[in-house]
Structure 1
Amino acid sequence: MLDLRAIARDPEPTRTALARRRDGSEARLDAALELRSRLNALRPELEEAQAKRNAGAKAIGDAKRTGADASAAIAEMQAVSARVKELEPEVAQGTADLDALNASLPNPPDPTAADEDTALREWGSCAPAGRDHLELAGALIDMEAGSKVSGPRFAFLKGDLVFLELALVRWVLEVLRGHGFEPVIPPVLVKEQALFGTGFLPDTEQQIYRLADDPLFLTGTSEVPLASLHAGEIMDVVPRRYAGFSPCFRREAGAAGKDTRGIFRVHQFDKVEMFSFVEPNAALEEHERLLSIEEEILQGLGIPYRVVNIAVDDLGSSAAKKYDLEAWLPSQQRYRELTSTSNTTDFQSRRLDIRYRPEGGKTALVHTLNGTAVAVGRTLIALMENHQTDDGGVEIPETLQKWGAPARLG
């Protein structure tokens, strides 16, 4: 949701930024500004007509009590009432239409967001072709049982792979705590407002699981509940940083036929998500900070990767800029998305009404940012494939062994 009042003073910069998305949002902005202008003219007229109607009703009542002729006042009030009846539904419908238009507008991209995906740097040595994660894991990943119990794109993780996941999560949480993030286990069922507030509604309905009997949704990322943690508040301290661990649920409705082998693209997975509330002038630095932490984690795991500045037409509605870290997968001989981090500026805080009070100043909207610390399933894939041995086993980094991971799989 954008600040149309501020944009109306000089719409061209926002219009130009939205045009880079190539999704028609600049035309929707023009429609919203035109409708806002129309409503700004109608609302005073409606308020004036309502005031005249109320005054006329009082005058008619006074005339009847004193026996005076009220015919002129009645005629005038009838004309005014007719105009009120015309204006009220027009203003109500226009307001609803304006809210819908504004809700459809994405965050204007940052000038440094790429026009097309742009690789910025690489780290690590890319291994030659090898076994894929299903071959390496063997019975530790049971896709057949997952499909039998829950359907396609579900799996059972078993044995040492469970301890590897738990060690991975614990280690990452310790890393994040060292960077000032407070660990959180949030709810995974949220209200519609939480999804709207983060921009997942009305943008990604097709990816979201909805409960049939309750007004609740399963989250695809703990970004959603973490963003709403301070909804409607004036925060007393910023920056505030959280590390949320939770299962995540995505319908993957638009991924039919894509990545059907193994656990790369599944409906349920675990993830540790970073979320930051900061002052506006600190957002750019915070974005780079989240990216550096993601790189620190992958380097600590010995996973080769590249950093990609994501194209503006693939940002999603809330992000002004996004980086992806793509891990090298030997079995596919290519880089695949593993983590991402987004600067959402004040897009989410405006929807969720999250403010702070600068020293000596008026309250202002905070800026919010998010970043994946570890998407467990995909990280397990990258770990296994990049640390496989010639005999079909997998050597686990010592970093994770200290937290209970086995020294070797297979």
Structure 2
Amino acid sequence: MIDLRLLREDPDRVRASQRARGEDVALVDALLTADERRRSSGLRFDELRSEQKSLGKLIPKATPEERAELLKRAEQLKADVKSADAEQNEADEETKRLVLQLGNIVHEDVPVGGEEDFVVLEMHGTIRDFGAEGFQPKDHLELGEALGAIDVERGAKVSGSRFYYLTGVGALLELALVNAAIAQATEAGFVPMLTPALVRPRAMEGTGFLGQAAENVYHLEKDDLYLVGTSEVPLAAYHMDEIIEADKLPLRYAGFSPCFRREAGTYGKDTRGIFRVHQFDKVEMFSYVAPGDAEAEHKRLLDWEKQWLTGLELPFQVIDVATGDLGASASRKFDCEAWIPTQGKYRELTSASNCDSFQARRLSVRMRDGKKVQPLATLNGTLCAVPRTIVAILENHQLADGSVRVPEVLRPYLGGREVLEPVAK
């Protein structure tokens, strides 16, 4: 959540952020009113309690005539204190309810607009000209089925649409990707983590996934637990309610976990193959840093993602995501989009988000620098979302005979295999 002092001191900045996100600007004024009521009711409660305590000291010393009047006043104060306490609690709850609906303040350099209004920052790699090579590229599903790597028919039979099996070299390819990604992250100083896939409501709400993203979250009502859509959630909550000494920062974790997404609102989009699915595995980078280091850490996360995709020998572009497509927690987000030959366009493979102190305030993760205690900053970056990465590898590295060349970075994790060969039917 945002700092309420910022709201009081510069409400126009908060309004501008809401407007840029395409969110309700009236929420800002409602929150200002609730915050003022919370502060004034708290002040009134403190004044009444102070008078009540002073009165309590006077009564034993009062004359019989004075005592009767003081007791009468004490009864009235008791009722007033109770009423003021109730009003203070009500105003406090209303303020909390409203502030949790407010998205993070967008960075001033973020392009304004919707999903298609991003700005391309960089281009990497060369798009293959399959026509010049004398063949038409196959899509990842046709390739995956021929390799004995992907089985969506049985995935749908067992679990429904947007589920799949990775079989044979498909399963081995996932394990190779995960091991290579964790190896890169470990070399960069990240602590490898295997995280819970089920979290309590506070962890999900604290990371900002129960607002606009709630429709895509799976909820187990009987247990009141949520299936995570990313290990960002348990990694952000890992230090919940803790104070971290400033000299211990940055803390960097690389989480591997299954991820679950309902994909609500995507009916008819990316229904073929494994590009958009309900369950997948992912390696996620997560950083806790001092607020002043957040922007530099954001660029570092992006650099590690670029290193990963370059190692996989994929053509990709880096975009600055527009305000309306940021998600509630991020003040700025960079996506790396890989070229998908059969779609003829770039598609998101990784993203790196700077959440500033937004999540840390919600989860009460603070840093101590000397005597000063304050919320720190959190950032996250996808290193490898497995199915989409497999899609990009199969399509970009396919050969005319239906086999697929293995990028050199993955060969040590595939027993030195240089090519994935189609299997006999």
CA offset digits 1:115-163 (Å, max 9, x no partner): 1311112112223462111100114211111111111111011001111
1:327, distance to aligned residue in structure 2 (A): 0.9
CA distance in 2, matches of 1:409, 1:229: 42
SS at match of 1:130: coil
Q: Are 1:107 and 2:104 counterparts?
A: yes
Which residue of 141, 148, 161 maps to 1:134?
141
CA distance in 2, matches of 1:186, 1:278: 20
1:59, distance to aligned residue in structure 2 (A): 7.3
CA distance in 2, matches of 1:324, 1:78: 63
Q: Are 1:292 and 2:303 counterparts?
A: yes
What are the equivalent positions in structure 2 for 1:166-185 lying under 5 Å apart?
Answer: 166-185=175-194
The amino acid of 1:99's aligned partner reads: K
Aligned to 1:240: 251
1:181, distance to aligned residue in structure 2 (A): 1.0
SS at match of 2:253: strand
1:259, distance to aligned residue in structure 2 (A): 1.0
1:281, distance to aligned residue in structure 2 (A): 1.8
- Indicate the percent of aligned positions where both proteins have the same amino acid: 44
What are the equivalent positions in structure 2 for 1:123-272 lying under 5 Å apart?
Answer: 123-127=124-128, 128=130, 130-138=137-145, 139-236=148-245, 237-272=248-283
Q: Which runs of 5+ in 2 are unaligned?
A: 131-135
1:300, distance to aligned residue in structure 2 (A): 0.7
Contact 2:211/2:328 (<8 A) preserved: no
Query: In the superposition, relative to structure 1, how do residues 292 and 257 fare at CA in structure 2: closer, same or farther (>3 Å)?
Result: same
Aligned to 2:421: 409
Q: Are 1:3 and 2:15 counterparts?
A: no
The amino acid of 2:233's aligned partner reads: V
Contact 1:164/1:404 (<8 A) preserved: yes
CA distance in 2, matches of 1:83, 1:318: 40
CA distance in 1, matches of 2:258, 2:359: 22
CA distance in 2, matches of 1:409, 1:177: 31
CA offset digits 1:383-409 (Å, max 9, x no partner): 000011112221111221111264323
The amino acid of 1:14's aligned partner reads: V
CA distance in 1, matches of 2:177, 2:394: 13
Aligned to 1:39: 38
Q: Which runs of 5+ in 1 are unaligned?
A: none
Query: Mean Cα displacement is larger for which, 5-14 or 92-101?
Result: 5-14
The amino acid of 2:256's aligned partner reads: F
Aligned to 1:16: 16
Aligned to 1:357: 368
Query: In the superposition, relative to structure 1, how do residues 362 and 56 fare at CA in structure 2: closer, same or farther (>3 Å)?
Result: closer
1:365, distance to aligned residue in structure 2 (A): 2.1
Aligned to 2:292: 281
Q: Normalized against structure 1, the TM-score is what?
A: 0.92
CA distance in 2, matches of 1:190, 1:384: 34
CA distance in 1, matches of 2:237, 2:77: 45
Query: Mean Cα displacement is larger for which, 42-51 or 346-355?
Result: 42-51
Q: Normalized against structure 2, the TM-score is what?
A: 0.89
CA distance in 2, matches of 1:352, 1:382: 36
CA offset digits 1:59-101 (Å, max 9, x no partner): 78998xx976865445434544454454343322221111011
Q: Are 1:342 and 2:339 counterparts?
A: no
Aligned-residue Cα RMSD (Å) equals: 2.2
Aligned residues: 406
Query: In the superposition, relative to structure 1, how do residues 298 and 69 fare at CA in structure 2: closer, same or farther (>3 Å)?
Result: closer
SS at match of 2:41: helix
SS at match of 1:104: coil
Aligned to 2:133: none
The amino acid of 2:352's aligned partner reads: T
SS at match of 1:357: strand
SS at match of 2:300: helix
Q: Are 1:98 and 2:98 counterparts?
A: no
CA distance in 2, matches of 1:10, 1:221: 33
1:368, distance to aligned residue in structure 2 (A): 1.0
